[in-house]
Amino acid sequence: MEKTRPPEITYLILLIASFSIIWLIIGMSLLLANYGDPIGQMEASLYRTVGGFVLAMSLLGLGASWGLWHGRGWSWTFGRILSIVVVFLGLLFLPSIIGIVSLSLGLITFYYITRKHVKVFFGK
């Protein structure tokens, strides 16, 4: 018998996947950019480090999206952990738009993933 995915999870997956793709592009841009003479080596290293972190977060988000889409039990736990990390990152970047969006996305994810009917879908 096939499990029925709650509609909120479908919307959440689309939201997480969309932001993960945007973060993937940003991370790759920071990693692969040509930092010429006007910028020092220390700043270039910082940008590349941030780019690597953003890239890693985007890949984790895409992995979570895949698991959530297929109703994998591990993705429920992973989604909770990832949403907490995103909330903390959002708090670090407040009051910028990145902070507000990250904080909102993390809180929405945590809220929906802990609803009873969603937990049942993931076998929790």
* Structure token digits, residue 44: 């270039």
Average pLDDT over residues 4-21: 87
Express each pLDDT in 39-50 by its tens digit. 677 777 888 888
Burial class (CB in 10 A: 0-12, 13-18, 19+), 86: buried
Asked if 80 contacts 114 with a C-beta cutoff of 8 angstroms, the reply is: yes
**pTM for this structure?**
0.78
Q: How confident is the model at residue 1 (pLDDT cuts 50, 70, 90)?
A: low
Q: How confident is the model at residue 55 (pLDDT cuts 50, 70, 90)?
A: very high
How many other CB atoms sit within 10 Å of the CB of residue 124? 13
User: What percentage of the chain reaches a pLDDT higher than 70?
Assistant: 94
Express each pLDDT in 62-109 by its tens digit. 999 999 898 888 888 888 888 898 888 888 888 888 888 888 888 988
CA atoms of 57 and 84, how far apart (whole Å) = 13
